[in-house]
Amino acid sequence: MIIKTYKGVFIVSSKMEEILEILEKNARAGVEEIALMLDMSVEEVEAAIKKLEEDKVIVGYNTLINWDNSSKETVTALIELRVTPQRGQGFDKIAERIYRYPQVKACYLMSGSFDLTVIIEGKNMKEVALFVAEKLAPLEGVISTSTHFVLKKYKDDGVIFEENGKDDREALRL
């Protein structure tokens, strides 16, 4: 049982993990709600969340949106990049020059036959293609790019988009 502390408040690490488990599924869960679910005080939950934020374990509270169901037009593309690592900096410097663009939703260093995966969102294919051609491909160190457009999202961040979620149990059973 590992104990973590935040400003004099002690929290067991298994409780920390359960807080993360709750927030990962529902970023809107309130501290009172969480305290009740985990048999903790509100102060403890607040301290735990502060600590998780400070330690950069919790790095944001995003809303998962299925843009396909909204009126806004969006396309998503996955770009495979091969790049030359830089002396003394490896891939970090070139990655940073890429992920700083707001169009870049995600950026990962990969093992295998290419180096970086870059996920781009744009209004349409043309916009994404232009971004790749004008911003990514010409960067110093980028050897090649390969663009794959997403046709349909089945599941994102652990959430299945077309789950019907209907409760088909018998309403009464002893």
Partner 1 sequence: MNLQEMIRPTVRNMPPSGIRKYFDLLNEMKDAISLGVGEPDFVTPWAIREAGIYSLERGHTHYSSNPGFIELRRQISRYVARKYNVEYDPKTEIIVTVGASEAIDIALRALAGPGDEVIIPEPSFVAYKGCTAFTGATPVIIELKEEDEFRLRPEQLEKALTERTKVVILPFPNNPTGAVMRADDQRKIVDVLKDRDVIIISDEIYAELTYSGKHVSFASYPEIRDKTILINGFSKAFAMTGWRIGYACGHPVLIEAMNKIHQYAIMCSPTTAQYAASEALSSCEDEVQAMVREYNRRRRVMVRGFREAGLSCFEPMGAFYVFPSIKSTGMTSDEFCEKLLMEEKVLTVPGTAFGACGEGYIRATYANSYENITEALRRIRRFVSRHRK
Residues lying near partner 1 in the complex (CB under 8 A) are found at 18, 21-22, 36-39, 167, 169-174
Judge contact between 91 and 109, C-beta under 8 A.
yes
State the nearest-atom distance from the C-beta of 174 to partner 1, in Å: 5
- Cβ distance to partner 1 smaller for residue 2 or 171: 171
Half-sphere CA count of 26, side-chain side, radius 13 A: 8
Q: Rounded to the nearest whole angstrom, what is the least distance from the CB of residue 24 to partner 1 in the complex?
A: 12
Which residue, 20, 112, 1, is CA-closest to 58?
Answer: 20
Q: Position of tokens 């794959």?
A: 148
The three-class DSSP label of residue 122 is strand
Considering the complex, what minimum distance in angstroms separates the CB of residue 151 from partner 1?
23
> Between residues 108 and 161, which has the closer beta carbon with respect to partner 1?
161
Q: How many CA atoms lie within 13 A of 162 on its CB side?
A: 4
The CB-of-36 to partner 1 minimum distance in angstroms stands at 6
Residues forming beta bridges with residue 90, ordered by sequence position? 86
Residues 84, 147 contacting (CB under 8 angstroms): no
CB of 22 to partner 1, least distance (A): 7
C-alpha 82/C-alpha 87 separation (Å) is: 16
User: For residues 22 and 150, which CB has a smaller minimum distance to partner 1 in the complex?
Assistant: 22
Q: Cβ neighbours of residue 160 under 8 Å, at least 6 residues apart?
A: 154
Of 21 and 156, nearer to partner 1 (C-beta) is 21
Q: Which is nearer to partner 1, 140 or 168 (CB)?
A: 168
